[in-house]
Copies of this chain bind each other. A is one copy, B any other.
Amino acid sequence: MPLSDVVIVDSTLREGEQFVHADFSRDAKLEIARALTSFGVNYLEVTSPAASRRSRTDAATIANAGLPAMVAAHIRCHKDDAAIAIDTGVGALHMVMATSPILRAASHGKAIAEVVRIAAEVGEFVRNRAPNIELRFSSEDAFRCPLNDLMNVYLPLSELRLFDRFGLADTTGAATPDRVAEVVNLLRRLTTTPIEFHGHNDIGCAIANAHAAAMNGATHINTTVLGLGERNGITPLEGLIAVMYAADRGRTMAQFQLSELPALCRRVAELAGVAVPFNQVLVGESAFSHKAGMHTKAVHNDPRSYEAMDPSDFGLTREIAISHRLTGWNAVRVRADALGLRLALADLKEATSRVKSAADEHTLSLDDVDRILTDVAALATARPH
């Protein structure tokens, strides 16, 4: 299916809460949930109601807030956790269990056949207890799991028809897109159960891995705002939106309130006690700043020349910096025009040269550039014609 039809399963309220500094109050969670659904996200994942008393009441509050979203509780593959979660009124359960050899050994200590038996048992328990609940089973650390082990989990579970989706998690964030493509593609060909991808960002490939998963048949992708999560987090919501937008601007704009995204990211950063990184995709402060002369010239001619996205689609503006030694006369001309100064080419080049020389010596402001332009214009006017 087209990338823009992928279902975003946002986990800011679960994986995001696992970010080391995050401690969202119930009001903060509700505010984030409302902002996410207003933006256009249709699935919200919340922390296991079994984690603590407040996790339970928070899950119930969000599940019963009347939001236009499916609220899914993330739980361990245990009947007790499932029962507690069902009682909160969530619409979906996201069960998870370790499958890689290293994580099985360090986590639950069980063999692959045991993983299958337990998943089936809990799956049947859920199906009996809450027949209409949406049920996902996910393998933790799927991409460090030998393919035969992974298929020995999913093929028999697929036959049981207990699960609405299978999850594939890059739990340590060490997968690259080629590996993600291989695993997702194989599972898609061998089963008919829809696939959800969850990717951590430890080696920086989480956005590209989400893209690779979707292009190879995953229908659901996990995100969090700013990528918040365990360690340095997972696929950021704004990163997945950027990839979708680059692939199909029209459909992405029709599906999401893109102009709400920057404020959503700023607010979640505030609630999590972090600054929006200067280099964050789309919402970092420098995402639409142009500096070098070659760039500023072409951007004045056609912004698409050096921009993958139109900042105005996101309620943002581009910045064209000219107060530095890499500046060019084309961008300086635009500033002169804005000041109402009509300078001849030679004068523009003289002004640009003065800007570069001054910037070689000390930090310049736009006021300094304006002063240079005014000086050069005054000299030009005083010159005999």
Nearest opposing residue in chain B for A205, CB measure: B208
Question: Which chain A residues (344-374) contact chain B, with CB distance < 8 Å?
Answer: 356-357, 359-360, 363
Q: Mark A277-298, 1 if CB is under 8 A from B, else 0.
A: 1111100101111111111011
Q: Judging by beta carbons under 8 Å apart, are B106 and A302 in contact?
A: yes
Question: Which single member of B21, B51, B232, B287 contacts A231 (CB below 8 Å)?
Answer: B287
Question: Which single member of B103, B275, B301 contacts A305 (CB below 8 Å)?
Answer: B103
A159 in the interface (beta carbon within 8 A): no
Given contacts A52-B357, A295-B230, contact A243 B18 (CB under 8 A): no
Q: Judging by beta carbons under 8 Å apart, are B107 and A298 in contact?
A: yes
Question: Could you tell me the distance between the alpha carbons of A275 and B274 in the complex, rounded to whole angstroms?
Answer: 11
Give the one of A105, A209, A278 with max B CB within 10 A: A278
Question: Which single member of B51, B211, B226, B359 contacts A279 (CB below 8 Å)?
Answer: B226
Which of A37-45, A110-118, A122-130, A306-314 interfaces with chain B?
A306-314
Contacts of A309 in B (CB 8 A): 174, 202-203
A177 in the interface (beta carbon within 8 A): yes
Question: Which chain A residues (173-213) contact chain B, with CB distance < 8 Å?
Answer: 173-174, 176-178, 200-205, 207-209, 211-212
Q: Judging by beta carbons under 8 Å apart, are B174 and A177 in contact?
A: no
Question: Could you tell me the distance between the alpha carbons of A230 and B53 in the complex, rounded to whole angstroms?
Answer: 48
Contacts of A102 in B (CB 8 A): 302, 304-305
Which of A254-262, A321-329, A375-383 interfaces with chain B?
A321-329
Question: Could you tell me the distance between the alpha carbons of A274 and B280 in the complex, rounded to whole angstroms?
Answer: 13
Given contacts A106-B301, A321-B20, contact A174 B289 (CB under 8 A): no
Question: Could you tell me the distance between the alpha carbons of A174 and B286 in the complex, rounded to whole angstroms?
Answer: 16
Given contacts A202-B242, A294-B76, contact A23 B324 (CB under 8 A): yes
Nearest opposing residue in chain B for A302, CB measure: B106
Question: Could you tell me the distance between the alpha carbons of A141 and B307 in the complex, rounded to whole angstroms?
Answer: 11
Q: Judging by beta carbons under 8 Å apart, are B286 and A54 in contact?
A: no
Contacts of A239 in B (CB 8 A): 203-204
Question: Could you tell me the distance between the alpha carbons of A243 and B82 in the complex, rounded to whole angstroms?
Answer: 37
Q: Judging by beta carbons under 8 Å apart, are A292 and B359 in contact?
A: no
Q: Judging by beta carbons under 8 Å apart, are A211 and B205 in contact?
A: yes
A215 in the interface (beta carbon within 8 A): yes
A158 in the interface (beta carbon within 8 A): no
Nearest opposing residue in chain B for A278, CB measure: B274
Q: Judging by beta carbons under 8 Å apart, are A281 and B23 in contact?
A: no
Question: Which single member of B204, B275, B293, B356 contacts A236 (CB below 8 Å)?
Answer: B204
Q: Judging by beta carbons under 8 Å apart, are B212 and A51 in contact?
A: no
A219 in the interface (beta carbon within 8 A): no
Q: Judging by beta carbons under 8 Å apart, are B20 and A52 in contact?
A: no
A139 in the interface (beta carbon within 8 A): no
Question: Could you tell me the distance between the alpha carbons of A227 and B346 in the complex, rounded to whole angstroms?
Answer: 37
A21 CB to closest chain B CB (Å) equals 7
Question: Which single member of B18, B233, B284, B308 contacts A292 (CB below 8 Å)?
Answer: B18
Contacts of A18 in B (CB 8 A): 291-292, 295, 326
Contacts of A228 in B (CB 8 A): 279
Contacts of A281 in B (CB 8 A): 201-204, 232
Q: Judging by beta carbons under 8 Å apart, are B243 and A325 in contact?
A: no
Q: Judging by beta carbons under 8 Å apart, are B106 and A230 in contact?
A: no
Given contacts A202-B308, A204-B236, A307-B172, contact A230 B278 (CB under 8 A): no
A171 in the interface (beta carbon within 8 A): yes
Question: Which single member of B19, B207, B326 contacts A203 (CB below 8 Å)?
Answer: B207
Q: Judging by beta carbons under 8 Å apart, are A52 and B291 in contact?
A: no
Give the one of A18, A275, A295, A321 with max B CB within 10 A: A18
Give the one of A359, A360, A363 with max B CB within 10 A: A360
